[in-house]
Amino acid sequence: MMFYIDQLFDEATLDALCDSLNDDSLFEDGKKTAGRTAKKVKNNLQGRGDDTVIKGARALLEKALRKHPIFNAAALPKQFAKIMFNRYSDGMHYGTHIDEPFIGGARTDLSFTLFLSDPGSYDGGELVLCEHDGDEEVKLPKGTLVLYPSTTLHHIKPVTRGQRLAAVGWVQSRVRSSEQRAVLFDLFHALAQLPDTADNQNARLSLLKARANLMRLWAE
């Protein structure tokens, strides 16, 4: 199940974040952070994990994600495995790969990409998710995030003009199964659509009870 999430930041905060990352010295060869298989197909620049600017940007993003109701309902995050910033310039790409099952000691259940460049400012650079029923190309407005299962093969098409800046990260969920997370999200959505009025109290309590008891059954 894939989710698109926008409005993580207000416009001023988003612009300030992007401006802070507009510094060549913050980035290094992306192969340094790639797994054994991905290293062979990775051609991008990665934010230096020990830099104070990168650390601050990472903390800002994690805080925003932890506060976002849709992200929390969809991912049910137990912990963030890692958050990184990457940059693709003319000719750079990332071949088809699968994310590592464990990063930083955490199981990777969900992956996300937050687009940090206006889509009209660069050509190419689409995130391509390889699904059983065909490939899905994702190129979103600046400040919009896509969340998808880490079990998905994917690649980044070559950038042919401009520069593509993004944040990527991985989450260990409290619920391992994507199918079970989808059921829990449907219950969350049903509650959100049901007005909190006296007439709806019994229905809302039934939904809350069902969701809570399923969390007890499925959560780790």
Q: To 10 degrees, what angle do helices 201-218 and 178-193 make?
A: 160
Average model confidence (pLDDT) for the chain? 96
Residue with tokens 């998905």: 152
Residue 39 binned pLDDT confidence (cut-offs 50, 70, 90): confident
Task: Return the pLDDT at 32.
Answer: 83
Q: b vs e for 19-42, b when ≥16 Cβ sit within 10 Å of the residue's Cβ?
A: eebeeeebbeebeebbeeebeeeb
Q: Averaged over 99-121, what is the pLDDT?
A: 97
pTM over 0.85: yes
Q: What is the pLDDT of residues 70-102, one digit of tens each?
A: 999 999 999 999 999 999 999 999 999 999 999
Give all domains of the chain, ordered by start, each with its CATH number. Answer: 3-173 (2.60.120.620), 178-218 (no CATH)
Are 71 and 65 spatial neighbours (Cβ–Cβ below 8 Å)? yes
Mean of the pLDDT values across residues 153-171? 98
User: Is residue 38's pLDDT more than 80?
Assistant: no
Please determine, for residue 35, whether its predicted confidence score (pLDDT) is greater than 80: no
The pLDDT score that the predictor gives to residue 86 is 98
E-strand ranges in the chain read: 3-5, 27-29, 42-43, 45-47, 77-88, 93-97, 102-103, 106-107, 110-115, 123-124, 127-131, 134-138, 145-149, 153-156, 159-161, 164-173
